[in-house]
Amino acid sequence: MEYINETENVIYFAGGCFWGIEHLMQSIPGVIDARSGYANGTGKEDADYKTVCTGTTGFRETVRVEYDPEKVCPENLLLAYFYVVDPTVQNRQGEDIGTQYQAGIYYTNDRIRETVERIAEIEKNNSDPFYIEISPLRNFYDAEEYHQNYLEKNPGGYCHIPRKAMKLFADLRIDPQDYCKPAADIVREKIPSEQ
């Protein structure tokens, strides 16, 4: 399989409005950069907010997450992601409804693919149905500048992810070997010992 030319330590997350996923990922120590954009759609000519919102492009509001593997592992990023998304709904998260809000995880190399597929299999056992798209990244285009760091620029702005969850993942450390059960179960077990 041929992947998009990408640095080794990058993963792409779609999970409703990209403002919340971007802010969540930025709060996790070891994340170098989180950038909002549009993934796996028709092409560059359609990669703008107004066109994506028509629901005809196949694009998902997605966040490109680059991380330092010395400080955070992909399992930690996946744990945070699965804790805040609802895998049982299609084309929506929270109050965000439309094909652009479909949840998904997109990878650009076999190492990340194997990790994503392993963790997704664990999460599938706790979710019926399971609608998270798991696939290679076909394309990604940065969203307009006003979408970048939106919740940092607008602290009271809309977000379907509770601010409490963002704070939790800014402080929580998980050993990748612990990821043998669904994200919610791991977090429940860790919270008392971390407080």
Residues 6+ apart with CB under 8 A from 9: 66, 67, 68, 69, 74
The rounded Cα 127 to chain-centroid distance in angstroms is 17
Q: Burial of 180 by CB count in 10 Å (0-12 exposed, 13-18 middle, 19+ buried)?
A: exposed
Q: How far apart are CA 141 and CA 69, in angstroms?
A: 24
Residue 194 structure tokens: 């971390």
Residue 40 structure tokens: 């796996």
Choose, from 17, 53, 73, 180, the residue flagged as catalytic: 17
For residue 160, the SS3 value is coil
Phi and psi based region of residue 173 (left: phi greater than 0; alpha: psi -120 to 50; beta: remaining): beta
List 133's β-bridge partners, or say none: 104
Is residue 17 among the annotated active site residues?
yes
- Could you give the angle at the alpha carbon of 41 between the alpha carbons of 124 and 135, nearest 5°? 30
Q: How far apart are CA 85 and CA 120, in angstroms?
A: 13
Residues taking part in catalysis: 17
